[in-house]
Structure 1
Amino acid sequence: MEMTHAPHIQQPRHPRHRETVRRALGGTIEFRHFTGFDQLFAPHAHDYPVIGLVREGHRIMECNRTRYRLGPGQLLALNAGDAHRCVQEGATPLVYDSLALLDFHDCPPFAGPIVEDAEAIALMGDLASLMQEPIIDEAHVEEDLCLLIGLLAAHNEPETSDQTARDLATHSQSEGREHPSPANPAAPNPAAQAMAAYLREHASTTVRLEEVAAAAGLDKYRALRSFTAAFGLTPMRYLASLRVEAAREALAAGASCADAAWAAGFSDQAHLTRAFKERLGMTPGFYQRAIAGAEPADAPTSSPEQVRP
């Protein structure tokens, strides 16, 4: 299909056209969502990396003088300076999520522009969902983003293999079903123990990955590998499990769900409810009623507190 540069005219918007832009991590990343998008992207380049996921529709993209056909499920990884453009193909308008890494100075180069990797695609989907939450869980976003960058990197550090990156991604998507065991990690090492101690000490406060890494004297990419190898969980999954246990104890002592969430370090009650059910198989309210003898032990746990999808 011939790539043509259309005249500069105002095009009518598709009836479903919608755009969303949100920033996180202190403005260092910007999430952009497009629905019902059928206009062309003129030739351009960014001075920052961009990761994109096509949800619906087809496009013909030209990047660095090579042409690609894009369709649903296609993941893009564009390095700073990659010259690209794209035009609509077919009648279905574009639904597209992207993350612009505006100020991620330590981001390694990507091996894109087209990435065919199921784990990376799943991580990008998770990130898009996180960025559209009413309250963005920035620690979770940062961790998943670092895992995704590790999968997309064109040049990993010598000790990092593709399989290591995949193992990290798999752990990140396990949704915390494993429970942390600080006293008996799979492969004890001082760096992992130092990070675990930091997480336990700061579990009720806002925690950033770079702070956890600094506790062990590592950069955040090495910290992720070291911690996950030792505990079978990424640092933020480990932290979420610590917080769930703290909230469980508070609920058992009679605290309200909102107070238990706040005291444990969750940003709101909805985040507690989701993390609690993912790890313990029941909502916080059901747990509290059950241990108080007000709920039969085999009652359904999906209502009245429904976990948000």
Structure 2
Amino acid sequence: MPGNTSFWRDPVLPHVESRRACRSRACYKPHSHPTYSIGAVDAGGSIFTGSKDGKVALGNGSLVLVPAGCVHACNPLPDAHWSYQMLHLDAQWLHTHVPRLDASSASVLHEPVLYAQFCAMNALLFSPASPAAKQEALLALLHACADASGASPLPSHAARIPMQLRPVVQQLQSQPLASLAQLAELAGMSRYQLIRAFRAATGMTPHAYQLNLGVNRARSGLQAGSALADIACELGFADQSHLQRVFKAHAGITPGRYRG
């Protein structure tokens, strides 16, 4: 039985997106999102990397809370498939409505009652229920996650980046095609020093950060209805095929299937 993936989005609730993946074998490169993410494992096993505890084994009913900007990956066990749900929340919206969850490190929860609440909330999102009912269930879940994790606001990943590297991050945000030589000069470091310092601060090399940034911007372009070829050109990918390969490596799905 092949795996399948479905997405839920609603322009009335633009701050939330949900994904369901059944019997997936997709593997992900380490990556980050501009959104706050909550994942739930429905079946099978996987390994999560990105929490303060290092690699963590996940099983049926595990929940993973991933702050915006946190580099992570979650992949199935070798030669196996798994099923999961993933919720993405606008980081600013979350900070306004549930600031206790606006932490800087990922956490893993094994709470059967909370997992059941997540499943019920996500089923409601995919249903014809009213936006008001969906919003109420979403907020209830988020406050329950904050209670279960003992979360409290901590400095964001951006705030914890050393001052010397902040101009590099700002340059990548404004000019994603900046070369390593340009970035090293901006930081006053050698290329090797920059790669080492940047990885220590962000969890990625500058090049991996550029690709991850491109994938996240491609998500926005796809949702806005832009043509894939135009997105690839705008973001500096060699061609449409290059963007497709990088996107699937980071998102576990092709751009076409993500667009829906």
TM-score, reference length from structure 2: 0.49
Which structure shows the bigger proportion of residues in helix conformation? 2
- Structure 1 or 2, whichever has the larger Rg, is 1
TM-score, reference length from structure 1: 0.42
